[in-house]
Structure 1
Amino acid sequence: MKLNYIYILVFALFFQSAIIAQNTSIRVIDSQTNQEIPYVTVALYKINGQLIRGLVTDNNGMVRFDLDDRVNYSVSFLGFETLEGQIGKGEHLTLEMTEQYDTLDDIVITGQYGPKKADKSIYKINVISSRDMQQRGVNNLAEALSQESFIRLKTDPSTGTSLEMQGMGGENVKYLIDGVPIIGRVAGDIDLSQINMDNVDHIEIVQGPMSVVYGTSALAGVINIITKKNKTSKNMFTVNGYTDTKNNYNVGVFGSISKGNSTLSVSGSRNIFQGIDLDLNIANNNTTGKDRYMEFKPKLVYNGDIEYAYRKNDFQVSVKSSIMNSELKNYANENPFTLIAYDNNYITLRSMNTLNFSDRISKSSSYNVVGAYTYFKRTAEDIRSDLSELTHTRTGTTGTIFHNLMTRGTFTVAPEESKFNYQFGWDINSDKGDGDRIEKEASMSDYAAFASLQWEPISSISLQPGLRYIYNTSFETPLIFSMNAKWGIIENLNIRASYAKGFRAPSLKELFLDFHDSNHNLAGNPDLKAETTDSYNASLLYTINKGTSTIKLEPSIFYNDGKDVIALIRTNPVTEEYRNTNFGGRRTRGFNINLAYLNKGLRLSAAYNKTGESYDYAGDAIWTKEVSYANYTLNGQYNFRKAGVILMANYKLYGKTPALATSSDALGDYYFVYKESMSDLETTLSKKFFKNKLDLVIGGKNLFDNYWSRTYGYENGQEFRSPINYGRTFFAKVNYRF
């Protein structure tokens, strides 16, 4: 009997050993510190390339799994070089990951036939990673873009922050979230400070017209915000918080549950700004010495996202709904005798609802279809505030509503080893607007079919012609054409060049806006023509690798020749009415030079951007003298690896900037005024704790203490000060992963 127990025990130990032997594992460590790296993504593929499943390392840097056959693996983690190889049944690998100091391995999808490394893309695409945003303590899209040398930010305390690229902004820049257009512009711009970054994986920026691929409003370029996707089998939950010395208090959460082929992800955030008074605009009737008016208005913003995704092999379907609600308060100074003030609340609601399908039909062909409905509503409430009785009564409400329905589909054929790949698809957008500030219920639809071909006559040269046919229900449209070329002269030297025809139909607001109150006298113009642009871009990327050092030189040039350019100008100097009008033409040209040096934990970069503008006001081929302006950026970062500390400093100088002013003597005459130069400096220090679960970032923004900027050069000798920032700010941000 005892002998039987011994046999059973020996058999159990042998069986357990056999199970352990069959158990396969991968352990991931840092090549410099030899410490385990948790939360690393490990993807397993069949030898033919088909995805089997995704895994995430635990707190000890381990993943364990069972295998029947030998498979390929890909190990990736933000900020480290990707490792690839093969593993078989019963093997136990320890892999050393090396920190990645270059950005050439960033994977991009904007305008691509499929996910591709940035340096292999035929387009010049700038990428802002979530790692960079985390280390800088970024809260919104405006802060994320602020250090890009080719982007100029403009801040309006009431309408928010907007930008210019290649001398163009407003309706000429297309904003996307996972390929879906963002609607709801105020004064022609999307308020970038409303777009939260907590659930963002990275941002892709394409400069120059992308009208063939993305249609109207993509004259200056495209900014595509790519949100986080949980493609692993691990549940995830993170929480973050932010506070600073200028009355900002933010909190956000992200959670994702994965079971089998299904994943449910939820995120939400609340951002509070309590307002800043710069005392630049105190009402003349204020005799009490108290000032309720704030240049930077108090703002409360809520963001929420929920997404369900089903993935099996190469087939994916996802349903996502996002909502943003923002309330901005405008406090006015009270009448000193009645203690009555007339305030305003501005409420913005944006809801985006998306359905996406994609699949690989065969080894060489795939499709992607997306459909979305976006609802946008902006409401202005008039509030009567009795400061003696502390009561607030709503006395009036006006609102504007916009609806957008869109669907976009692409079919791609890209055989391996083929010199020809091609893609074709459709893009349909339907817009509808109504409300108190729209002259009538307005609508416009845009139906487009597009196609492009990638041809590699030799391995170092890629050519991509593209065509887009558009039917617009309100405007005649030209056939849109583009040609892109990439030449890899040698391994580390790439040249890109492109020509593109741009097209932009006027927006419903530009056509039908009717906004008249005590502070505004704005009118739409139903007789507007559509804008067209001929754009030329070229860039060079030269990379020198020597030992652990890398040097990158990246110069680029651009030239845009626009016709029937839409601008908001003063049409009646007596009533101060402003109306959207077509200029005959606008030309912008310039260049950008980036130089970067990377060596282990050290990253240094410098950039110079210059842009020139000239106008043909009447369309008679009489062009103004070109005026130009420049940006300068300097960036430095050092990673103290053993201490786990990253120190970063970013500097940007905005040169003297021109703007158009209307002559008071004769309508149709314009001249340039100038906003004085200004510079900005931010520094941050970030460190990880508790086996990389906790990220802490502390730092300072606007360290040169900018509050306002002076605009000068008006014909009557006047100068104006306008608020641009609320001064030197110190902040702390934490992110904790459970």
Structure 2
Amino acid sequence: MLLFACTATAQDLPEKTPAGDSLQQKSIALQELVVTGQFEAQSLKNSVYQIRTIDSQRIRLRGATNIQTILNTELGIRFSNDLTLGTSDIQLMGMSGQNVKILLDGVPMVDRGSTRESLGQIDINTIDRIEIVEGPMSVIYGTDALAGVINILTKKRTESDNLSVSARIQEETAGKEYNAFSSTGTHNQNVGISWQRKGLLFSGHVARNHFGGWQGDSSGRKKAWMPKEQMLYTVSAGYRSDKWNAWYRFNGTDETIYFLGYVNAENKAGDVDYISKRWFHQLQGAFKPNEKLNFTGALSYTDYSRRTLSTHMDFNTGKRTKALNASQDKSVFTSAFFRGTMHYKMAPALALLGGIDISSNNSSGDRIQGSPTILEYALFLAPEFRIVSGIRITPGLRFLKNTIYDAPPVIPSLNGKVALSKKLDLRFGYARGFRSPALRELYFKFKDASHDIIGNENLKAEYSNSMNASLAWQPVAKTALRINSTFGGFYNVFRDLITTGTSPANAAVSTYLNIDLFKTTGFTLENKLFWKNIQATLGGTFIGRYNRLSESEAELGPTPEFTWSPEINSNLIYTFSEMGASISLFYKYTGRRPSYETVISATNEISARLAETAGFHMADLTLTKTFNKYISIIGGAKNLFDVTSLRNTAQETGAHSAGSSVPMSYGRSFFLGLNVQWSKN
């Protein structure tokens, strides 16, 4: 069930397929192997969880330079952008990013708080595929998994001993703004090397991502989207034998976001640099003494800091000095994590997974109240029963101990899969969710010209009860033709959900508050077609979010219990095999998002008012061409509908808003990239 355990198993898969045996490779692709939440790597059809995968081909054909580009046309996923701080947050099936667990090879990624900055600090060139599990995974993955899990799997071993070198350069406009290789636009470079021989593996990657910002409607030096300079470093080493394997991986991030101020009458400007550094270490291993027993372990340590550097730029002298009267601070977040599991196949119809999780989260800095630490210990058990042929049941229990909150003594879950026929599968699940507040929500304080947010030490932990079910129909499953249709639904009830709101003590200050009740529900339909040179998907979701004002019908009048928002997406890939080329179209329509708010009339009467964020279309078109086995080019256009911001009719759009509009993108952009891949074998 745990990715780090299954990753090791997945690494073994290529060696079971003879090099050059294309039939076997196609067979593996047909099975669409998944590892997230599984006992061991297995086909998606046999999994008790409903998992969506984004494979390496789709990642490559997107021409993506960050994970957000890959996910922004996925069903149920929506991003929000904070232009003041230069960060983005993710929503999954109506729930915010704090409740979405981000994993890198099965190990949790650390963030400052509610926004998932870690998604933008992973080298896209090292990713093999992404697996998305919707619904609570609190029993298996613990805190921050109420809405689901996004598991990012990196590239591992190849079929045989080899030495390979890769390089990539890609240039992209920012709307209509571009200056080659520097200044405006997006400029990405990457180089990597990998060597493996007789069980040993060494690899390294360095990537530079430069975004020159986007002017938009701003004037002078000020940018609507702030410039960003990013360096990403990845180093890994591993060894594998017949019965055990171990590997170490280092991910380093050095990132600076630049806020450029207006030039005043004295020809001076006040600038702010937001400097992030992330050092992420992973050590993982597996030992399999026999076919029935398997042990795995993972140990990680993260040191993540964000520093604010305020300076004054004097254009008369050309000198930059540190601003003595401005905020200069640094916040540091460290996390240590250990997970150990044992998987035992007791009988053909019974397998047992047991494990322990230990995590320690610490923070310090000028904006942190004190130097708080949260320790959490967990023990989980999850047997899998094969009752009869075609029926699998996986109950689970997680026992928790949190040093700050009285965690529930046990968190249960139940997942199952029933093969109604050879072509039709039913999956269902229930889980009890629990999330203790993050350090930022408890102790962080932030204040500048656009923000005034303080943590709340009196927050309660969140609880949830979640149910989901899906029907998967596969009428055709041949090598040359596959057709899949999946229809699913979900219903989640949250107690004491943590969100931002106005401080009761000061209306000008925002803080974190508990909402007594919140719900999400919805339906999803996804269809896939793989036929000869065509890969196509077409799907849609209809997501309902709870309207809290419906509880106050006597005071505010009748309003619906849920407000609904639709989504439609489609991906189309056509390969010209003889030409070594392909064309791809990725599209998503995100419907309007309605919400109810209270308004006060001139006569001081309070009523409910319907507001909404406008819907929008997002589409990318890419073309690729391979010239030989070493060189390929990719080009195309992103954001074909030229979306920049969305109209929002709400009175207030939150502490990180930009007025009456919601920023989404910097408009239609065009890109061209060159990829070089050399391999000794």
Indicate whether the TM-score tops 0.5.
yes
* Structure 1 residue 124 corresponds to structure 2 residue 50: yes
- 1:22-37 to structure 2, matched below 5 A, reads none
Query: Partner residue of 1:501?
Result: 432
2:651 alignment partner, one of 698, 711, 714 = 714
8 Å contact kept, 2:547–2:563: no
Q: 1:470 aligns with which of 396, 400, 421?
A: 400
Counterpart residue identity of residue 372, structure 1: S
Q: Which amino acid aligns with 1:131?
A: Q
Deviation at residue 76 of structure 1 after TM alignment: 6.9
Pair 1:294-2:237 in alignment: no
Q: Deviations over 1:477-534 (max 9, x none)?
A: 1111000010112222111000011110000100111212332110111110000110
Given that residues 51 and 314 in structure 1 are in contact (C-alpha distance below 8 angstroms), is that contact kept between their aligned partners in structure 2? no
**Could you tell me whether the CA contact under 8 Å between 2:355 and 2:381 is conserved in 1?**
yes
- 1:612 maps onto 2:544 in alignment: yes
Aligned match of 1:211: 138
Q: Tell me, what secondary structure is at the counterpart of 2:215? A: coil
Q: 1: distance between equivalents of 2:354 and 2:113?
A: 34
Letter in 2 for 1:449: L
CA distance 1:617–1:139, change in 2 (3 Å): same
* Amino acid aligned to 1:454: E
Q: Which residue of 1 is the match for residue 299 of structure 2?
A: 371
Q: Secondary structure at the match of 1:736?
A: strand
What is the DSSP-based 3-state SS (H/G/I as helix, E as strand, rest coil) of the residue aligned with 1:188?
A: coil
Q: In structure 2, how many angstroms separate the alpha carbons of the residues matched to 1:175 and 1:647? A: 30
| Aligned match of 2:70 | 144
1:208-607 paired onto structure 2 within 5 Å: 208-231=135-158, 232-246=160-174, 247-279=185-217, 282=218, 291-335=220-264, 337-395=265-323, 396-414=327-345, 418-478=348-408, 479-545=410-476, 548-571=480-503, 576-607=508-539
Q: Secondary structure at the match of 2:320?
A: strand
Among candidates 601, 624, 636, match of residue 686 of structure 1: 624
Give the aligned partner of residue 112 of structure 2: 185
Amino acid aligned to 1:255: I
Match in the other structure for 1:638: 574
* Conserved 8 A contact 1:104-1:119: no
Q: How many residues in Structure 1 have an aligned counterpart in Structure 2?
A: 643
Quickly say closer, same or farther: Cα 1:580–1:238, change in 2 above 3 A: same
Question: Which deviations, in whole Å up to 9, do the C-alpha atoms of 1:66-125 show, x marking residues without a partner?
Answer: xxxxxxx51478xx9651xxxxxxxxxxxxx75x7x965222221111111222111111
Q: Give the counterpart letter for 2:588 in structure 1.
A: K
**In the TM superposition, what is the alpha-carbon distance from 1:218 to its structure 2 partner?**
0.3
**For the structure 1 residues 539 and 51, does the alpha-carbon distance in structure 2 shift closer, same or farther, using more than 3 Å as the test?**
closer
Q: Aligned-residue CA RMSD in angstroms?
A: 2.8
User: How far apart are 1:223 and its partner, in Å?
Assistant: 0.7
Write the distance in 1 (CA, Å) between the matches of 2:551 and 2:279.
Answer: 40
**Larger deviation: 700-709 or 461-470?**
700-709
Task: Please list every run of 5 or more consecutive structure 2 residues that lacks an aligned counterpart in the other structure.
Answer: 1-8, 175-184
Q: Is the 8 A contact 1:563 1:585 kept in 2?
A: yes
Q: Confirm whether residue 165 of structure 1 aligns to residue 92 of structure 2.
A: yes
- Checking the alignment, whether the CA contact within 8 Å between 2:88 and 2:115 is kept in structure 1 is no
SS of the residue corresponding to residue 576 of structure 1 reads: strand
Pairwise CA distance, 1:54? 6.9
**Structure 1 CA distance, aligned partners of 2:433 and 2:610?**
26
CA distance in 1 between counterparts of 2:13 and 2:396 reads 36
Matches of 1:50 and 1:550, distance apart in 2:
23
Aligned match of 1:727: 667
CA contact (8 A) 1:126 1:204 kept: yes
For 2:522, the aligned partner's letter is: G
Structure 1 counterpart of 2:483, one-letter code: I
Q: Is the 8 A contact 1:573 1:664 kept in 2?
A: no
Task: Tell me, in whole angstroms, the C-alpha distance in 2 between the residues paired with 1:51 and 1:199.
Answer: 15
The one-letter code sitting in structure 2 at the alignment partner of 1:119 is K
Q: Is the 8 A contact 2:112 2:333 kept in 1?
A: no
Q: Of the two, which has the highest radius of gyration?
A: 1
Question: What's the counterpart of residue 6 of structure 2?
Answer: none
Deviates more, 1:455-464 or 1:728-737: 728-737
| SS of equivalent residue, structure 1 residue 458 | coil
Question: When the two structures are superposed, what TM-score results if normalisation uses the length of structure 1?
Answer: 0.82
CA apart distance, 1:332? 1.1
Structure 2 Cα separation of the partners of residues 82 and 201 of structure 1: 21
In structure 2, how many angstroms separate the alpha carbons of the residues matched to 1:711 and 1:174? Answer: 28
- Pair 1:672–1:580, CA change in 2 (3 A): farther
Q: Residues 129 and 470 from structure 1, CA distance in 2 versus in 1: closer, same or farther, beyond 3 angstroms?
A: same
Shift of 1:677: 0.8
Distance 1:230 1:620 in 2: 58
Q: Which moved more, 1:186-195 or 1:371-380?
A: 186-195
Cα pair distance change 1:517/1:719, threshold 3 Å = closer
Q: What is the percent sequence identity of the aligned residues?
A: 28
Q: CA deviation at 1:193?
A: 3.0
Distance 1:52 1:295 in 2: 47
1:553–1:53 CA distance, 2 compared to 1 (3 A): closer
CA deviations 1:414-470 (Å, max 9, x no partner) are: 25x610001001011110111011111111111000001100011200000000000
Cα 1:182–1:618, aligned 2, differ >3 Å: closer, same or farther? farther
Aligned CA distance change for structure 1 residues 167 and 259 (closer, same or farther; 3 Å): same
Structure 2 CA distance for aligned equivalents of residues 734 and 446 of structure 1 = 46
Farther-moved stretch of structure 1 (112-121 vs 422-431): 112-121
Q: Which amino acid aligns with 2:41?
A: P
Following the alignment from structure 2 to structure 1, what is the Cα–Cα distance between the partners of residues 100 and 288? 32
1:642-681 alignment, distance < 5 Å? 642-658=578-594, 673-681=611-619
Stretch moving more, 257-266 or 153-162: 153-162
For 2:550 and 2:485, the matched residues in 1 are separated by 41
Alignment of 1:12-23 (within 5 A): none
Please give the alpha-carbon distance, in whole angstroms, between the structure 1 residues aligned to 2:595 and 2:443: 25
Residue 306 of structure 1: SS of its match in structure 2?
Answer: strand
Contact 2:469 2:490 in 1 (8 A): yes
Residues 595 and 605 of structure 1 are in contact (CA less than 8 Å); yes or no, is this contact kept in structure 2?
A: yes
Shift of 1:598: 2.6
Looking at structure 1, the residues matched to 552 and 238 of structure 2 have their Cα atoms a distance apart, in angstroms, of 55
**C-alpha distance 560-307 of structure 1, shift in aligned 2 (>3 A):** same
Shift in alpha-carbon separation, 1:660–1:368, aligned structure 2, 3 A? farther
- Structure 1 pair 278/51, CA: closer, same or farther in 2 (3 Å)? closer
Contact preservation (8 Å) 2:432, 2:464: yes
Shift in alpha-carbon separation, 1:258–1:662, aligned structure 2, 3 A: farther
Shift of 1:294: 0.4
> Using the alignment, how far apart are the partners of 1:163 and 1:638 within structure 2?
30
1:74 equivalent to 2:6? Answer no
Deviation at 1:385, TM superposition (A): 1.0
Answer yes or no: is the 8 Å Cα contact 2:650–2:660 preserved in 1: no
Q: 1:703 to 1:596 in 2, by over 3 A?
A: same
SS of match in other structure, 2:157: coil
1:377–1:400 contact (8 Å) kept in structure 2? yes
**CA distance in 2 between partners of 1:687 and 1:51 (Å):** 29
Instruction: Report the Cα offset of residue 597 of structure 1.
Output: 2.6
